Structure 1
Amino acid sequence: MALVAALSACGAKTGPDGVAEPDGESPARSRIAGTHWNVERLTLDDGTTTAPHGSAWIEFDGRGHAAGSFGCHRFRAGAEVNAAGDRVRVGDIEAYGSGESEQSEEAGQSEESGQSGDGKPECSRERLAFESYMKKIFRGDLRIIGGASQEMVLVALGNERKDRLQLQRGRSAPLLGTKWTVNSLIDGDTQVGPAELAPGVGEVSVVFEGDGTVHGFLGCNSFKAKAEVGEKSMKFSEAAVTTHNSCGQRADALEARLLRDFRKDALFSLGHDYLNVTTDAATPSQAGGFHAKAGSRRSGEEKEGERK
């Protein structure tokens, strides 16, 4: 979820939770404004619950506007947060672009890695389906449910039909040194979670280091490879497992699938707390790669332990 540039006004002060408070704004309003909120999931009044396959996020500037991503397409909207910080009125919405991290004048971020043959980013069916649900909820008068202090990082936006968007406070993660947890694999225009391919598999994770290497866990075994990282591209080579556990045929197939990606050239996009890596992007039907969410930064001791 590409980060829109600082939304606080010049001369803004910082509140007790570290969020900028524009002059004249109440503390309650500032807790929802000036913060990057990731959309973790949505719940419809019929009980349907779904999480985005891509990166959906929202930012309120506290001065009548919001910006974000529906999961694939970016948007701008009128969004007036009341002084009490418990209501927001969403006005006209302008959707644009096709790519969750498409560059904007404010963000200065790179375009999404997945691209079609004509150079335009692709949106999977799952992302478009999630967008349609999110657009139904993010409109009109919404109630802000829950706190937004540094300790309380979850809030929800709800309408009169009891539809809900659950939001989580996000923090920007750098590419290098971050443990990236792979939550979906790209297979053409669809995405599938590692656990769906290999039930019971361990958490798949990837770490890029500043020395031109990448390492992590493939669900059963650890691996390492070389990674030449450019502005928007990655060149992988010499991928190999570093442990030799046996976890069954499905886990072996998942690891083989991931290792193929780490032996190819790829495009990537880095957002607020997500990473997209796409191989064979010029041919969408054959695209591979993965989508990952940022985990924790690791200490020097953890780094040494992972290398062993």
Structure 2
Amino acid sequence: MKKPRALAGTALTLLLPALAACGGSGPGAGTPDVPVAGTHWTIGAVTVDGVRSAAPSGALMDFTKDGRVQGTSGCNGFDAAVAVRGDALTVSDPTVTAMGCPDDRMRFEDALLRSLKGEITAKLKGGALSLTSADGRYRVELTAEPATPLLGTAWTVDALISGDTSTSLPAGSEGKARLVFGKDGRLTGSLGCNRVSAPAKAGGSTITLGAFETTRMICTPAQMDLETKLYDALDNPLTYRIEHRTLTVTDADGQGFTAKAG
């Protein structure tokens, strides 16, 4: 992936439903502050001058709890600071990654970024949110995104946990450990090098694993190091929690890992 590029002069003003109090004057004043922190949206489509373009798979928009808006158009990712004032969100000039994608995805990305400028009026109905520009030329369709289910999701390990400390993976092993807790009651995947399989029973906030079956390949030292650490962490009883698209698994000693969906 290339380094992010700055999009100069782009200010995103998003108007969302209001739920908490705010005062003052000017745009957004006199209406409740929007509690967007921790919300997650799937981008469904963008309409420009009456022409609707469905979003590619993976197009998302998240508002983090530390005052940022992040997401992906289905091609490049974007990231910016966000300030809330009444029913208006003012987003700083975003950084956008610079990957090349197929023409249809690049056209959608351009339409999305153009749609998220100026004043945008929001209408919320159930879990559907529409954002319409002041001149009516642009409309973005968003759908509230639920938490990712444990079962059936491909989880890619991205960090190791020891007590209250999270550490990065051994250099060179990133993206190598991928696990699926299947609906058939088995854990399958890789711990960094070898393919593994084991009975897995999930209930409440716990996971219980049976005996592992594994291949016997020799991989790079970094991959073998990661595999050893994950074997040590997968020691019953295991506790798990899911925060949207992030899975955290720890054993009774506080050893474990985090993993991202996809």
| Length-normalised TM-score, structure 1 | 0.43
Higher strand share: 2
| Length-normalised TM-score, structure 2 | 0.49
Larger Rg: 1 or 2? 2
